[in-house]
Amino acid sequence: MNVIPYLRVSTQEQADSGLGLEAQRATINQHAAHREWSVVRWAVDDGYTAATLTRPALMDALTQLRAHTADALVVSKLDRLSRSLLDFAALMETARREGWAVIALDLGVDMTTPAGEMLANVMASFAQYERRLIGQRTRDALQALKSRGARLGRPVVVQRSTAERIGLWRAAGCTWAACADALNAAGVPTAHGGKRWYASTVRSVIRSAVLDEQARAIRETGVSCDEEVA
């Protein structure tokens, strides 16, 4: 079987011989000799944490596995690959979908053997359970905030002059789409720093700023939708 061994050590872990790159390499070499694996290449992320899976050597290894230049990704310890059970479960699902395997030697997770596949499925089940717990805690927290009258969602941050100009355009009878076109033409950034306005985003600004009443109060100002943004 062709494999890509993956090694990782963070800056803080480099002084720990039990987590060193050479210790990981020696462990994988021992198993490779015993099981007659052929090493395609070594993937090494030196000085990277396991906070996310976005690491250069790992990303390159996954690209090669996706292209089927190797059959499996091998790590000496699961935490060298990820400290997140959810991330690891997602990676195993990707491996199943794309037709390659994950092998974590310390836990006996090996998607190429029946026993190792069973353990991988057990870990995936725990990850699903963890996802459901996280979702339930999130829903409970949001409900608690709502019950206290908290306003949920991202805050709208837009210059007051822009919000008021939109209110004037609406008072003049402009559609939400026309307001969006005018803002785009003037190069005005959106509430969250984007470059393009849409009818829905313009509407959310008005509702957030509570300017509809002000707009109704100035319906007779005769402001045109084509007027430049101040």
Tens of pLDDT, residues 65-102: 999 999 999 999 888 888 777 788 888 888 989 999 99
Under 8 Å between Cβ of 88 and 123: yes
**Whether the predicted pLDDT of 212 surpasses 80:** no
Task: Name 120's Cβ contacts closer than 8 Å, sequence gap at least 6.
Answer: 92, 102, 109, 110, 111
Q: Residue 214 pLDDT > 60, yes or no?
A: no
CA atoms within 13 A on the CB side of 80: 33
Q: Which of 49-53, 73-77, 104-108, 129-133 has the highest mean pLDDT?
A: 73-77
| Least-confidence region, from 71-75, 158-162, 173-177 | 158-162
Cα atoms found within 13 Å of the Cα of residue 207, Cβ hemisphere only = 8
Distance separating alpha carbons of residues 159 and 46, to the nearest angstrom: 45
DSSP, residue by residue, 98-120: HT-EEEETTTTEETTSHHHHHHH
Average pLDDT value for residue range 90-115: 88
pLDDT exceeds cutoff 50 at 159 = yes
Identify which of 150, 96, 148 has the alpha carbon closest to the alpha carbon of residue 123.
96
Contact 111, 103 (CB under 8 A): yes
Report whether 30 contacts 22 (CB < 8 A): no
Token pair of 127, please?
């990850």
Listed residue (135, 73, 127) closest to 104, CA to CA: 73
pLDDT beyond 50 at 215: no
Q: What angle do CA 69, 72, 78 make, to 5 degrees?
A: 140
Decide if 31 contacts 37 (C-beta within 8 A). Answer: yes
- The larger pLDDT score, comparing residue 68 to residue 156, is at 68
pLDDT at 13: 66
Residues forming beta bridges with residue 38, ordered by sequence position: 2
> Lowest mean pLDDT: which of 45-54, 58-67, 152-161?
152-161
More confident residue, 6 or 194: 6
Give kind and range of the element (H or E) at residue 30. Answer: helix 21-35
Higher pLDDT, 44 or 184: 44
Task: Reply yes or no on whether the pLDDT at 173 is more than 70.
Answer: yes
pLDDT of 12: 67
What SS3 class is residue 224? coil
pLDDT-derived band at 196 (thresholds 50, 70, 90) equals confident
Could you tell me the pLDDT band of residue 217, with boundaries at 50, 70 and 90? very low
Would you say residue 197 has pLDDT above 80?
Answer: yes
- Which residues make beta-bridge pairs with 9? 46
Instruction: Check residue 213 and give its pLDDT.
Output: 45
Is the Cβ–Cβ distance between 9 and 47 less than 8 Å? yes
pLDDT confidence tier of residue 41, bands split at 50, 70 and 90: very high
Average the pLDDT over each of 41-45, 114-118, 150-154, 180-184 and give the range with the smallest value.
150-154
Pair of tokens at residue 155 = 């805050």
Query: What distance in Å separates the CA atoms of residue 171 and residue 173, rounded to the nearest whole number?
Result: 5
